[in-house]
Structure 1
């Protein structure tokens, strides 16, 4: 049996999910709730600025909610003058009378006989932990209108969460959008395994240094591989890495650079196409072609043109037959794959547009971020596939991103009472 929590009582009070007719306080006075008040999630009473009529008098004040009336004393409210302005004590079960800190008796509403049985039943079912997501058996019954509205809100919430981290880097880069964008994209080239290493690489090699060698692709490649630590203390057999090594030796002294320790890069359990050596070659080619990445992104409105920024990169032909230096391999593509580019647009580029729009106060960039996700296909991963099996149609990346947000921050944490789906399921008992 799931233990009853104050959260569900807050929910019931907020949405008036109890029998309203002929309400009376425990003392026998008639009660009419005019306004439930503002839900307070900080210290103090649970609902602020409520209005109600108790007996013949109208009151304006706060409402405190507990599972048991005696929780008032367990929480030491009788010693806190801040609770003297509580005008109604709402409890599931009234197990004792309660006095305020000033000694006055507090009027009480007992909810236990007033709550429809299906509401608590549905809440306990959602909290039982029996399913992949709490509403697994019911999510398909939520109207498409409500689901669409909730997913739209979740998408913005996901953007907000992502841009918070982006702004941290922006602050570190003293408001330099080009440099921040450069670092942010570099991180994605490292995927989960080498994201931190790519971050370190980009920070060790500011884009202003690359700009000085924009007409010399070999110099840019040498700078990236040299700073990554891949050109240190090695006697290469093949000409291309030897040329890189020679070039980097000169550039390192010119720009007073200090290379990374190559041991930070991870090759184990990484597919060859994702080897850091390949990704560095691709990122170097991107930087060689697009000197100002951020400017190119914000000036490009068409989704296909955004994709084109990352297609047909001038990657050195050496990487057509290599995944590592001095280790020949069969012929393969050294270009970014279609899926990688789509995921880059979804997880990075859209976020950059949203962050920029919010930062400068121009909604056109926020709308472009949303529209970009609406123009891209939904991700295909285990979570999205599972939602599809539950009857949730997922076609656009905007929908899949919203569902990933819901799964991580609502379903997994059982925050059904804060979730648009959970609210609909519990509030509307005609669906049960």
Structure 2
């Protein structure tokens, strides 16, 4: 049977092996008093362990390998961090190993000791052909375990997003308002045009746009013009007005060379998500809420305030156009859809809250994020459907965001043993 090192780490972590008559490869008796803390960073696998070997008590670290020779292959024999390893746990001992100072490391061989149920459960888990290897067994996992797995995945997902926000904050030299603007622009790209929106946001500043808070037309002209979405030879009167406003303000603010139309994606995108349409909506939001950051952080205790921020109506021109000079065959809604609104809360507001709490080291912002996500309906996408088809249904966006994080970090990577669901499925049956 083939398995990876993470399987042995899990076996040690949960002590899924026969501990009767436990001894080292040299015949010294072993009593495990403390397994240590699982270390997910560089250094020994388990820190601050406590074992008794023979009559002596040892306090230090535990390292886990498939083969004892992996100690030298990983160059632990020359790494001083491994001088404090008190027990080497391996599947098989193919050679004796030594610390940097030449002293031997006591070795525990698990071959023939791992509980049969655990081996069978592991083989059953990794032999699945579905995208979710646990799909056939997920119904055996308690809801509290699944919730815990989603919570962990969600925190890791939000932590990653908030780190991206804080990177922007660093680039803006601690300007939260500017960082919020750039993050909002990226969120309005709705994945397909997120990178282009990010590029555009770096060419403008919210302070400049706020100077025209009383005129959404000027803000829209600057956004569309700098995006390269206003044709040089625009024909209709409204387009000419926007072109004139952009040309004037581009010179006034010494704006860089505009982006090119080809940088934006229209193919395969629903018309309501065209970048022209989204930039017009952004212009309305900035014009309506010039103090957007303050509103999001301080005035959005209830959901209604957040709804009000995005409750905008675009100019009549855009009710009948997706592009300049090309009239649409049907009237277009001037509102941000409920689905788009929910995605903006998930991908714009929540990461800003989480990053702000992380920046201030105030944990209540994390709980605020959780509460907000639990008030939003679950997303519908191919990842959430994979969980649903296995009988694990998302009740809200807390669940769906957790599922997305879990799928990408664990399921796709086949890292089942880093997931609490996979760990739970590995445990032996009760007798």
TM-score by length of 2: 0.92
Counterpart in 1 of 2:386?
386
Whether the 8 Å CA contact 1:289–1:314 is kept in 2: the answer is no
Cα distance in 2 for partners of 1:358, 1:98 equals 43
- Using a 3 Å threshold, how does the CA distance of structure 1 residues 220 and 115 change in structure 2: closer, same or farther? same
Cα distance in 2 for partners of 1:362, 1:45 equals 31
Whether the 8 Å CA contact 1:134–1:411 is kept in 2: the answer is yes
Moved more, 409-418 or 120-129: 120-129
Cα offset, 1:291, TM superposition: 0.9
Counterpart in 2 of 1:247?
245
- Using a 3 Å threshold, how does the CA distance of structure 1 residues 151 and 81 change in structure 2: closer, same or farther? closer
Matched, 1:302 2:302: yes
Cα distance in 2 for partners of 1:232, 1:401 equals 39
Whether the 8 Å CA contact 2:91–2:109 is kept in 1: the answer is yes
Matched, 1:223 2:230: no
Secondary structure in 1 matching 2:352 = helix
Cα offset, 1:403, TM superposition: 0.8
- Using a 3 Å threshold, how does the CA distance of structure 1 residues 385 and 81 change in structure 2: closer, same or farther? closer
Number of aligned residue pairs: give it: 428
Matched, 1:119 2:130: no
Counterpart in 1 of 2:259?
260
Cα distance in 2 for partners of 1:93, 1:249 equals 73
Whether the 8 Å CA contact 1:374–1:398 is kept in 2: the answer is yes
Counterpart in 1 of 2:184?
185
Cα distance in 2 for partners of 1:147, 1:401 equals 13
Gapped runs of 5+ residues in structure 1? none
Deviation track 1:387-406 (CA, whole Å, cap 9, x = no partner) reads: 12212131110011011110
- Using a 3 Å threshold, how does the CA distance of structure 1 residues 321 and 7 change in structure 2: closer, same or farther? same
- Using a 3 Å threshold, how does the CA distance of structure 1 residues 361 and 40 change in structure 2: closer, same or farther? closer
Deviation track 1:141-190 (CA, whole Å, cap 9, x = no partner) reads: 11011222222222211110111111111111111111111111111222
- The correspondence of residues 86-105 of structure 1 with structure 2, limited to 5 A, is 86-98=85-97, 100=99, 104-105=103-104
- Using a 3 Å threshold, how does the CA distance of structure 1 residues 27 and 194 change in structure 2: closer, same or farther? closer
Matched, 1:14 2:13: yes
Cα distance in 1 for partners of 2:78, 2:246 equals 71
Cα offset, 1:31, TM superposition: 1.8
- Using a 3 Å threshold, how does the CA distance of structure 1 residues 178 and 22 change in structure 2: closer, same or farther? same
Counterpart in 2 of 1:358?
358
Moved more, 226-235 or 6-15: 226-235
Cα distance in 2 for partners of 1:208, 1:85 equals 55
Cα distance in 2 for partners of 1:80, 1:22 equals 32
Cα RMSD between the aligned structures?
2.3
Whether the 8 Å CA contact 2:221–2:245 is kept in 1: the answer is yes
- Using a 3 Å threshold, how does the CA distance of structure 1 residues 117 and 295 change in structure 2: closer, same or farther? same
- Using a 3 Å threshold, how does the CA distance of structure 1 residues 94 and 266 change in structure 2: closer, same or farther? closer
- The correspondence of residues 313-328 of structure 1 with structure 2, limited to 5 A, is 313-328=312-327
Cα distance in 1 for partners of 2:75, 2:201 equals 54
Moved more, 26-35 or 172-181: 26-35
Whether the 8 Å CA contact 2:6–2:417 is kept in 1: the answer is yes
Counterpart in 2 of 1:331?
331
Whether the 8 Å CA contact 2:313–2:334 is kept in 1: the answer is no
Secondary structure in 1 matching 2:193 = helix
Cα offset, 1:428, TM superposition: 4.5
Moved more, 158-167 or 4-13: 4-13
- The correspondence of residues 37-76 of structure 1 with structure 2, limited to 5 A, is 37-75=36-74
- Using a 3 Å threshold, how does the CA distance of structure 1 residues 173 and 81 change in structure 2: closer, same or farther? closer
Whether the 8 Å CA contact 2:117–2:428 is kept in 1: the answer is no
Cα offset, 1:5, TM superposition: 2.4
Cα offset, 1:52, TM superposition: 1.8
Counterpart in 2 of 1:276?
275
Whether the 8 Å CA contact 1:286–1:314 is kept in 2: the answer is no
Cα distance in 1 for partners of 2:148, 2:401 equals 14
Gapped runs of 5+ residues in structure 2? none
Whether the 8 Å CA contact 2:99–2:105 is kept in 1: the answer is yes
Bigger relative contact order, structure 1 or 2 (CA pairs below 8 A, ≥6 apart): 2
Whether the 8 Å CA contact 1:163–1:352 is kept in 2: the answer is yes
Cα offset, 1:74, TM superposition: 4.7
Cα distance in 2 for partners of 1:234, 1:377 equals 44
Cα distance in 1 for partners of 2:3, 2:182 equals 47
Whether the 8 Å CA contact 1:373–1:398 is kept in 2: the answer is yes
Secondary structure in 1 matching 2:313 = coil
- The correspondence of residues 139-150 of structure 1 with structure 2, limited to 5 A, is 139-150=138-149
